[in-house]
Amino acid sequence: MTGDSALGRYCNTDSLLHRTDPRVKIILYVFYLVAIFMLSNPISLLMLAAVTLLLIYLGNTGLKVIWLTVKPILLLVVFITVINIFTIRAGKPLFSWQFITVTEDGLKTGILMGTRLIFLIIITSIYLTLTTTPLKISDSLESLFSWMKVFRFPVHEMSMMMSIALRFIPTLSDETRKIMNAQMSRGADYDTGGVIKRIKGYITVLVPLFVSSFNRAEDLATAMDARCYRGGEGRTKLNPLRLKGSDVATGIILALVAAGMVAADRLLG
């Protein structure tokens, strides 16, 4: 989360996905989320990569922004890949040394899980954070789950909380970078030494980061209270969501593409 990162940020450009109703994008995101975890054939994964490039073009975000989105989670991708490679013992052994064994199934599963995680982050960013503002995400979630109000579920409050969480991802990233730069100017070293030493060094970042986060939360609560926020009951919207024919057409076409990839994966075995 340190350095240049586009994770959780909104890309303020004009594109087909930017103009698409956010409710359609959330439904499409669910379709592609299911598709990502159902695809396992290398050819179908190549098809997913081609569709992802198409979505990047439709979102007018650019490959650089996508790279800055994926970059912060590369360490997590490597960790998940390695864990799967060295813990799955089924299949034909490829390498064995003392208690370490790498099998064919473990290698395939590790690469597959890492690839799925990368596609998951990219698709999430394209459909949600990069092409949809936090306010529209909140409004769309509230609209999609409005039927739960019958059961007295606080739909407005939950959608607003999720919107605030997405909004503060880049803010916390910037805050982390500022704290690390301030600590390094005082002689802190985060790049040398063993793992234990580095973990202890990052405590000097986590403590002020938590304090800053709580202060921001308190300031936000005070600002909402000063503006007489009392929940979603009786509130109106400046720009209410309106579903257009082009939104429906875009949703149907992209949903069919996701379904086609899953069908092709099943045919390929």
DSSP secondary structure letters along 99-132: TEEEEHHHHHHHHHHHHHHHHHHHHHIIIIITTS
Residue 100: CA atoms inside 13 Å, Cβ hemisphere, count? 6
Q: Can you give the pLDDT at residue 3?
A: 47
Q: What is the mean pLDDT of the chain?
A: 84
Phi, psi of 125 (to 5 degrees): -65, -40
Helix (H) or strand (E) holding 20: none
Q: Which amino acid belongs to residue 149?
A: K
Q: If you average pLDDT over residues 19-29, what whole number do you get? A: 93
* Best CA proximity match to 166, nearest among 27, 7, 51, 3: 7
CA distances from 118 to 47, 62, 150 (A): 15, 16, 38
**For residue 242, what is the DSSP state?**
-
pTM, full prediction: 0.78
Q: How far is CA 244 from CA 24, 60, 241, 247, 251, in A?
A: 10, 21, 10, 5, 11
Q: What is the mean pLDDT of residues 253-265?
A: 93
- At 240, the pLDDT band (50, 70, 90 cuts) reads confident
Q: What is the pLDDT of residues 99-120, one digit of tens each?
A: 777 788 888 888 899 999 999 9
pLDDT of residue 195 exceeding 70: no
pLDDT in tens, 201-239: 777 788 888 888 888 888 988 988 888 877 767 677 777
